[in-house]
Chain A
Amino acid sequence: MVFKWDFVIDILPELLKGALLTIELTIVSILIGIVIGLIISIFRVSNIRPLKWFAKGYVDFFRGTPLLVQIMIIHFALPRIVGYVPIALVSGIAALAINSGAYVAEIFRAGIVAVNKGQMEAARSLGMNWSQAMRYVILPQALKISIPPLGNEFIALLKDSSLLFAITIEELMTTGRLIIGARPRPTEVWFAVAIIYLILTQGISLLVNWAEKKFDTDSKVNM
């Protein structure tokens, strides 16, 4: 069995079309996931009990059940109870964003907890209330600490988007499966798909490194 390079060239446009959808899905899900994660993490560190419990339950559920099961629940199970008509793209983005939100919430919480307690006390003693101290003093520091683990989470999210084959979204993984259905050359298809995923995840790594440097205020002070 030989590796046919011209077959790879043939299927490349189709794969890139799938990769484009993978990128779009990832970006939209990351953005919504960050919003959810921020809200849930603030709930989690707040002093209001019900919000704390809600946040804990949210994280426990979405981190403690497989993403594929969550996709199936959102796309197949809930519509039969709630009565909405599911749209594959909406179900897919919702599942990725809600799931990612749970992980992002824990990353932000770790960041918030890592900020020295004295910072909050100092801010409060300057006359700021809790939310002001959170917004102007704690969160900017916490978010900076959160950048490297966030990068990990985004890479995981991009790879997890491959599970959306289950609900017919034709992203990179599904595109590969559909090509193999018609032209069964798994060697070429799966190596090509793997390399495209690798390029995409490396892209995220570079972005995260850049962001880390940009927000790295400590070393600038030291210089």
Chain B
Amino acid sequence: MRNIMKLAVVILMILGLVVIASGCGGAGETTDINGLEDLAGKKVGVQANTTGQYAAEKVEGMKNEDIKKYPTTPDALMALSTGELDAVVADSPVVLNYIKHNPEIGLKTVEDDFEKEYYGIAVKEGNKELMNGINEALATIKENGTYDKVYNKYFGEASSGTDFKVEPVESDKTFVVGTEAAYAPFEWQENGEITGFDADLIQAIAAEMGVELVHQNVAWDALYPSLNTGAIDAVISAMTITEEREQEVDFSEPYFEAMQIIAIRGK
């Protein structure tokens, strides 16, 4: 019995040591990343299948296995703070919002001349009727000032100061929209409801179209498939219009201009 116990204790200790030793060193401040080209040879986190991933893949000398593809952007930023990653490439409004609301996590940003990106609302390929409806509604709310009110609520000088809200329309015609709701300030869940810039904007568009909005939280990777199977009518999820994506779905006119940014550790 003694021997088995001794053996057991030794094995447990070795297992524990392996786990601890594999991660010793602690997560220090990042100092040697000043732009995109410095990312080569570093561990870079992205959200899987986003423009952040594509931007990281384009960096010269970047190895694919060094790009860690997380299911959500907050997951990647959390992995950066624990030291698993050296940097995260993601949409700048989201990263800045995350850092602003979570200062204790100790992250900062580095800018570079990333290309401008435009977010669009996606519908199933060939669904012209719905696309026209969305584009017309978008144009109307841009003209009548509703868009600006929504924009200022989240990105204005005194953002979070306004409590502007579009009243939902009740109708027999429903408009089912999918969103990956882990992407503040564009979309996040609060009290079981999807809120954020995209949520308010699509509510305004639905009101303009005179249809009742049904807003669903759908995983990022499941957004296109849900469109194609007809589970949802449209996607608003801070989704950048890209050539590749346009081969699979149709996009509305752009509704937001954004850019990538690099997040690193530091105050």
Task: Flag if A87 contacts B23 (CB, 8 Å).
Answer: yes
Task: Flag if A43 contacts B22 (CB, 8 Å).
Answer: no
Residues of B within 8 A of A186 (CB): 225
CA distance A167 to B75 in the complex (A): 8
CA distance A177 to B19 in the complex (A): 28
A101's nearest neighbour on chain B, judged by CB, is: B15
A123-160 vs B, Cβ < 8 Å mask (1 yes, 0 no)? 00000011100110000000000000000000000000
CA distance A184 to B25 in the complex (A): 40
Q: How far is the CB of A180 from chain B (nearest CB, A)?
A: 6
Task: Flag if B22 contacts A83 (CB, 8 Å).
Answer: no
CA distance A68 to B238 in the complex (A): 27
Task: Flag if A184 contacts B228 (CB, 8 Å).
Answer: yes
Indicate whether B8 reaches chain A with its CB closer than 8 angstroms: yes
Indicate whether A113 reaches chain B with its CB closer than 8 angstroms: no
Task: Flag if A181 contacts B48 (CB, 8 Å).
Answer: yes
Indicate whether A80 reaches chain B with its CB closer than 8 angstroms: yes
Contacting B84 at CB < 8 Å: which of A46, A85, A94, A170? A85
Task: Flag if A131 contacts B248 (CB, 8 Å).
Answer: no
Q: How many residues of A contact B (CB 8 A)?
A: 39
Indicate whether A165 reaches chain B with its CB closer than 8 angstroms: yes
Task: Flag if A85 contacts B248 (CB, 8 Å).
Answer: no
CA distance A76 to B27 in the complex (A): 13
Task: Flag if B25 contacts A131 (CB, 8 Å).
Answer: no
Task: Flag if B79 contacts A131 (CB, 8 Å).
Answer: no
Task: Flag if A88 contacts B68 (CB, 8 Å).
Answer: yes
Residues of B within 8 A of A170 (CB): 69
Task: Flag if B8 contacts A85 (CB, 8 Å).
Answer: no
Known interface pairs A180-B225, A184-B224, A184-B228; A79-B12 also in contact (CB < 8 Å) = no
Indicate whether A166 reaches chain B with its CB closer than 8 angstroms: yes
A76-116 vs B, Cβ < 8 Å mask (1 yes, 0 no)? 10011011111110100010000000000000000000000
Indicate whether A20 reaches chain B with its CB closer than 8 angstroms: no
CA distance A189 to B49 in the complex (A): 16
Task: Flag if B4 contacts A85 (CB, 8 Å).
Answer: no
CA distance A132 to B108 in the complex (A): 60
CA distance A174 to B82 in the complex (A): 22
Q: How far is the CB of B179 from chain A (nearest CB, A)?
A: 17
Task: Flag if A35 contacts B84 (CB, 8 Å).
Answer: no
Indicate whether A209 reaches chain B with its CB closer than 8 angstroms: no
Task: Flag if B79 contacts A76 (CB, 8 Å).
Answer: yes
Contacting B11 at CB < 8 Å: which of A35, A129, A182? A35
Known interface pairs A76-B79, A131-B3; A94-B19 also in contact (CB < 8 Å) = yes
Task: Flag if A90 contacts B224 (CB, 8 Å).
Answer: no
Indicate whether A12 reaches chain B with its CB closer than 8 angstroms: no
CA distance A168 to B224 in the complex (A): 21
Indicate whether A122 reaches chain B with its CB closer than 8 angstroms: no
Task: Flag if B82 contacts A88 (CB, 8 Å).
Answer: no
Q: How far is the CB of B6 from chain A (nearest CB, A)?
A: 11
Residues of B within 8 A of A181 (CB): 48-49, 221
Q: How far is the CB of A52 from chain B (nearest CB, A)?
A: 13
Q: Give residues 39-53 of A contacting B (CB, 8 Å).
A: 39, 42-43, 46, 51
Known interface pairs A76-B79, A181-B48; A85-B23 also in contact (CB < 8 Å) = yes
Task: Flag if B4 contacts A135 (CB, 8 Å).
Answer: yes
Task: Flag if B48 contacts A79 (CB, 8 Å).
Answer: no
CA distance A85 to B84 in the complex (A): 6
A132's nearest neighbour on chain B, judged by CB, is: B1
Q: How far is the CB of A183 from chain B (nearest CB, A)?
A: 8
CA distance A130 to B22 in the complex (A): 37
Q: Can you name 17 A-B residue pairings with CB atoms under 8 Å?
A: A76-B82, A84-B19, A84-B20, A85-B23, A85-B82, A86-B23, A87-B23, A90-B18, A90-B23, A94-B19, A134-B1, A135-B4, A166-B75, A168-B69, A177-B49, A178-B48, A184-B225
Residues on A close to B: CB < 8 A? 32, 35-36, 39, 42-43, 46, 51, 75-76, 79-80, 82-88, 90, 94, 129-131, 134-135, 165-168, 170, 174, 177-178, 180-182, 184, 186
Residues on B close to A: CB < 8 A? 1-5, 8, 11-12, 15, 18-20, 22-27, 45, 48-49, 68-71, 75, 78-79, 81-84, 221, 224-225, 228, 244, 248
